[in-house]
Amino acid sequence: MTTTELPAAAAGELTIGGDLRVRRMGYGAMQLAGPGVWGPPADPGAAIALLRRAVELGVNHIDTSDYYGPHVVNELIAEALHPYPEDLVIVTKVGARRTPDQGWPAALSPDELRRAVHDNLGRLRLDRLDVVNLRIVAEGGGLSPSDSIATQVQALAELREQGLLRHIGLSNVSVEQVEQARSITPIACVQNEYNVLRRRDDALVDTCAREGIAFMPFFPLGSFTLQHDSATGADTKVPQSSPLRDDAVDDIARRHGATAHQVALAWLLARSPAIACIPGTSSIAHLEQNIAAAAIRLTAADQHDLATAPARG
């Protein structure tokens, strides 16, 4: 089966917040910005073509943020796809900002969150955002996984009451923070780092499935870390080596005639019906490979081998 023949719903669908139906293989737009998620891409036309190709292939769930670039990625999405297809769900996030030295400090005060929501609305050319994820950032005076997020969640709940956003999600949060947020307002989705070899949120994935909360793993194919420059004081996101270098993943990929990354995506889809994948890429070829991963059906033996592979966090 070629990618252009892939059924749009090959991976099935799930519902975000009870009313937003999305296909489980989506697209994460962070890599459309320039190096370091800063500035415009070298070829904006290619980025626009990729977004349009994603929609052609059946993607109806795009993950973004106005601090990607900053502003660049949201502007590319609007240029490529506005007016948007009726079934397209755009999920954005707030809670951080970019500084001229390319840092990623927290922006978690109620005023900063309100400004971020309005910035996303303006650049995406929307009157209401489908989903806004509250991203908890420790850098730059932010919050740790043990801190209260009640003030931040309440600020977003007020914006929802004003009709500026439909659903609230959480990102980079602890189990305790999820529970606290749910005591304040309904939570539609959680977006934490999770992949076949980094499974510390196993219990949270299962909780989301029981409670009808969508789980969107970020960095499903790799990870980033913050590198601190002592001379400038800046924190810069830099890619780490892929956590998917594993004999079990490679062996299963060979058995299916697939890539290790495709197996990793197929594992996420098999792991829980609550999971929707948002792999990112700036390459149409890689986009098509990622979407084709939805057609891979892992056997019971495959899943056993992956389940017993040593987790790395």
Average pLDDT value over all residues in the chain: 90
Out of 27, 68, 84, 194, the active site residue is 68
pLDDT at 221: 79
7 pLDDT higher than 50: no
Residue 264 within a domain: no
Residue 1 within a domain: no
Per the model's pLDDT, the better-predicted residue between 309 and 89 turns out to be 89
Per the model's pLDDT, the better-predicted residue between 100 and 229 turns out to be 100
- Mean pLDDT for the stretch of residues 92-109: 96
Q: Name the residue range of residue 29's domain.
A: 18-241+275-281
Residue 106 within a domain: yes
Give the domain CATH number at 93: 3.20.20.100
312 pLDDT higher than 80: no
pLDDT at 4: 38
Number of domains comprising the chain = 1
132 pLDDT higher than 90: yes
290 pLDDT higher than 90: yes
DSSP-assigned beta bridge partners for residue 225: 238
pLDDT at 220: 87
Residue 232 within a domain: yes
Residue 220 within a domain: yes
Q: Which residues contact 296 (CB under 8 A, 6 or more apart)?
A: 256, 258, 262, 263, 265, 266
Report yes or no: 153 and 184 within 8 Å, Cβ to Cβ: yes
- State the Cα–Cα distance between residues 305 and 265, nearest whole angstrom: 15
Per the model's pLDDT, the better-predicted residue between 309 and 81 turns out to be 81
6 pLDDT higher than 80: no
68 noted as active-site residue: yes
pLDDT at 287: 96
pLDDT, tens digit (0-9, with 9 covering 90-100), for 235-289: 444 444 444 567 888 999 999 999 999 999 999 999 999 999 999 999 999 999 9
